[in-house]
């Protein structure tokens, strides 16, 4: 009985001694930048990727997702693979690097998705 009272007394004393810290909400560091990232830039010219012969023979189809970096003048400066078949990634990357976007105030990144289907 004595032990139970000492444990509960210790818990009460500890809860009274600790300061109460309010929960913090996290805000984006640059709200304008996060809002700007959600708006997409318009594509002026698109190039369709070629379906690789080997992928067609092996009946490989699917989506390729690329993260592209677009310079302020609208040129694609880099493309990073997010997902997709290795047989389809290179043609998609080659095609997206030929795309031209509307000029913008700063460098932006966007996700571009290509759908390769083996329908003749």
Nearest to 64 by CA among 51, 83, 86: 83
Instruction: Tell me the pTM.
Output: 0.66
The residues spanned by each domain of the chain are 41-120
Q: What is the mean pLDDT of residues 30-57?
A: 73
CATH T-level topology, domain 41-120: TolA/TonB C-terminal domain (3.30.2420)
Query: Are the C-beta atoms of 70 and 77 separated by less than 8 Å?
Result: yes
Pairwise CA distance, residues 114 & 9, whole Å? 65
Q: What is the mean pLDDT of residues 91-99?
A: 97
Helical spans, DSSP H, in 1-120: 2-17, 31-38, 53-57, 86-96
Average pLDDT of the chain? 77
Q: What is the pLDDT of residue 13?
A: 46
Distant-in-sequence, close-in-space partners of 97: CB < 8 Å, separation ≥ 6: 76, 79
Query: Are the C-beta atoms of 87 and 60 separated by less than 8 Å?
Result: yes
pLDDT band at 40 (very low <50, low <70, confident <90, very high): confident
pLDDT band at 39 (very low <50, low <70, confident <90, very high): low
End-to-end CA distance of the chain: 83
Q: What is the pLDDT of residue 12?
A: 45
Q: What is the pLDDT of residue 118?
A: 78
Report whether pLDDT(7) > 60: no
């Amino acid at each position: 009985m004595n032990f139970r009272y000492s444990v509960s007394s210790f818990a009460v004393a500890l809860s009274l001694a600790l300061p109460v810290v309010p929960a913090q909400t996290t805000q984006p560091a640059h709200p304008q930048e996060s809002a700007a990232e959600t708006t997409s830039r318009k594509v002026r010219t698109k190039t369709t990727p070629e379906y690789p012969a080997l992928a067609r023979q092996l009946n490989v189809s699917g989506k390729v997702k690329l993260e592209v970096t677009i310079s302020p003048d609208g040129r694609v400066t880099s493309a990073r693979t997010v997902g997709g078949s290795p047989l389809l990634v290179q043609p998609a990357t080659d095609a997206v690097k030929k795309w031209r976007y509307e000029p913008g105030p700063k460098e932006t990144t966007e996700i571009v998705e290509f759908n390769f289907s083996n329908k003749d």
